[in-house]
Amino acid sequence: MLKPLRILLSAAGLLLSLLVVQRALAQDAAPLPPYFTATSPDAEKPLWPDATGANAGYWVTPSAPPGDGDPAQMTPAGLYDRIVHNMYSINIVWTLLAGFLVMFMQAGFAMVETGLCRAKNSAHTIAMNMMIYPLGCIAFWAYGFAIGWGNWWNGPVPPGWYPSLGPGLALLNSGLGIGADPAAAGVFTYPLIGTTGFFLSGFDDASVLVFFFFMMVFMDTTATIPTGTMCERWSWKNFCLYGLWVALPYCLYANWVWGGGWLAKAGLNWGLGHGAVDFAGSGVVHAMGGVIGLAGAMIIGPRIGKYAKDGRPLPIPAHNVPMVVIGTFILAFGWFGFNPGSTLSGTDLRIGAVVVNTLLAGTAAALASMMTLFARGMKPDPSMMCNGMLAGLVAITAPCAFVDSWAAVVIGAIAGVVVVLSVFFWDRRGIDDPVGAISVHGVNGLWGVIALGLFANGKYGAGWNGVVRQEYVDAFGFDGVRGLFYGDASQLGAQILSAVVVAVFGFAMAWVWFKLSDLITPLRVPAEIEIEGLDLPEMGAAGYPNFTVTSEQHG
């Protein structure tokens, strides 16, 4: 009784300390730029959100000016204000709807993972998928959002452009890094971490709150991936500690790629294309979850009965394949919020290409996985075909906005082959992954990051991560994100760097965490509980949470 109480008090103390740190950092945060307050040092040159002040324009107020409702009386400035205000509203609603779809994906993960495990562990597995949502959400609210996006400011848009969700994102303007710019507080050559937004303290702006919600449901996808890899032997208390920790590695790497961090600036600093580009998270979301799951699977060990005495892997059949198929379709449906929603803009005309590329990659991968099974002399296993579809969706998530439809088919088809080969590869090496999450999310997440560096066609992403190269503008009319096959080998270099970082950093962080947490509370359930099944000993009987059955009684 005392040990859980000590853990609870320690967690409360940590949250209180973070809140104190947040308030201290807020006092030292850089002042808001003039354009955010709708004032300008030079009244004749109102500023756009451009640190250089090179572009002039009309600043958008929260709503249309009073008395400007008569079309005959409307000024150009008022008309502009009303149009852009409506665009912000559309973008916010679009982002919220897409976030709701991503949130619904949790039901798909729960069904896929629960269906692939054994019936005696089904309540435990689906409960992990349910509880990772509140555990991860609290961690993201307390510290994750601040670390990942506390210095996000204007996002990845080109210099002089408004962020799609509105000017409120300028509140995210404090961080830590290397090579501080003495002329611009909070600006670093190599940004490492954000420091604004702990507990969302002081944030009431709609732009920030919508953005927080959207990024939280993305993090939850990463958090739930290892529950499939480590299911059927992961102890509940250790899992709960993991749920409060997982926001740390996720948000650090997310800051480096999505939060304007040092990987995003690899283009500006080292001439590597547009820096690390990951449109919707093949690396940030899926590869991170996959490598965390790999570390956990290696440390927790295989399930009892998975391997024969001579080391041969033995089949452990799934208990509900129809549930797996239905869960896969729920995930595929939610992916149309995952990828298109990452435009953060309902007015972005690239949404159509993102939707079609997502569709094609998933379907091509499912077909390719089936053909791979046939080529190996095997039958078309439904669970493997489901994993094939999910692998294609994972792989297209990073490049979906930057490639042609034919490339989406190729990327998906390769993912469908890779996932089958990868599942057998890890199985032969003693890595027990009941749902194939390492192969679906980890391996194909890395493939998706690299595929962008190969197939990006240069039609989209002009000015991405602040990179505008005159030689590309002269040659192609503008400088979009362009891969090796379209003339920019340096972008492939940025993608390989990003893939290596997520694999090494994510694995190392997870390895240390699982070893440490095992000292706090055991990582794995005792053998007798694993043999009996985790549902009753770990979770209690439905409706009778304090009722358990011993092995002798179960007899």
| Contacts of 30 by beta carbon, 8 Å cutoff, 6+ apart | 173, 174, 185, 186
What's the CA gap between 211 and 258, in Å, rounded?
12
Ranges of residues in the chain whose predicted pLDDT is under 50: 1, 29-30, 32-39, 45-67, 551-555
Closest listed residue to residue 297, CA positions, set 442, 502, 116: 442
What's the CA gap between 345 and 101, in Å, rounded?
15
* Number of residues that this document lists for the chain: 555
What's the CA gap between 137 and 343, in Å, rounded?
22
**Left (φ > 0), alpha (ψ -120 to 50) or beta: where does 546 sit?**
alpha
HEC profile of 294-352? HHHHHHHCCCCCCECCCCCECCCCCCCHHHHHHHHHHHHHHHHHHCHHHHCCCCCCCHH
Closest listed residue to residue 432, CA positions, set 299, 293, 302: 302
The domains located in the chain, with CATH, are 84-536 (1.10.3430.10)
- 272-297 burial, b if ≥16 CB within 10 A, otherwise e? bbbbbbbbbbbbbbbbbbbbbbbbbb
In the chain, the amino acid numbered 327 is G
Report the pLDDT value the prediction gives residue 194, as an integer from 0 to 100.
95
Report the pLDDT value the prediction gives residue 60, as an integer from 0 to 100.
45
Report the pLDDT value the prediction gives residue 35, as an integer from 0 to 100.
41
Structure tokens at 12: 């409360």
What's the CA gap between 288 and 225, in Å, rounded?
9
Cβ atoms of 221 and 284 within 8 Å: the answer is: no
Residue found by looking up tokens 């089904």 in the block: 122
In the chain, the amino acid numbered 234 is W
**Left (φ > 0), alpha (ψ -120 to 50) or beta: where does 38 sit?**
left
Specify which residues 190 forms β-bridges with. Answer: 178
Report the pLDDT value the prediction gives residue 56, as an integer from 0 to 100.
37
What's the CA gap between 505 and 397, in Å, rounded?
21
- What is residue 234's three-state secondary structure? strand
Residue found by looking up tokens 């269906």 in the block: 115
HEC profile of 242-292? HHHHCHHHHHHHHHHHCCCCCCCCHHHHHCCCCCCCCCCCHHHHHHHHHHH
Report the pLDDT value the prediction gives residue 69, as an integer from 0 to 100.
53
| Contacts of 405 by beta carbon, 8 Å cutoff, 6+ apart | 353, 356, 357, 360
What's the CA gap between 246 and 139, in Å, rounded?
8
Q: Phi and psi dihedrals of 24, rounded to 5?
A: -65, -40
Q: Give helix 247-257 / helix 122-139 axis angle, nearest 10°.
A: 60
User: Residue 84 burial (CB < 10 Å; 0-12/13-18/19+)?
Assistant: middle
Q: How far is CA 259 from CA 19, 194, 274, 306, 503, in A?
A: 21, 8, 14, 41, 19
What's the CA gap between 320 and 33, in Å, rounded?
56
Residue found by looking up tokens 């102890």 in the block: 235
Q: How far is CA 196 from CA 92, 263, 325, in A?
A: 21, 20, 42
Closest listed residue to residue 370, CA positions, set 381, 361, 358: 381
What's the CA gap between 142 and 244, in Å, rounded?
10
Structure tokens at 64: 């249309």
Rg of the chain (C-alpha set): 24
Element (H, E) at 188: strand 188-194
What's the CA gap between 510 and 433, in Å, rounded?
16
What's the CA gap between 239 and 219, in Å, rounded?
16
Structure tokens at 334: 């939610």
Residue found by looking up tokens 């897409």 in the block: 98
User: Residue 138 burial (CB < 10 Å; 0-12/13-18/19+)?
Assistant: middle
Q: How far is CA 424 from CA 146, 370, 511, in A?
A: 39, 15, 23
Report angle CA 262, 263, 264 to the nearest 5 degrees. Answer: 90
Report the pLDDT value the prediction gives residue 12, as an integer from 0 to 100.
58
Sign of dihedral through CA atoms 298, 299, 300, 302? positive
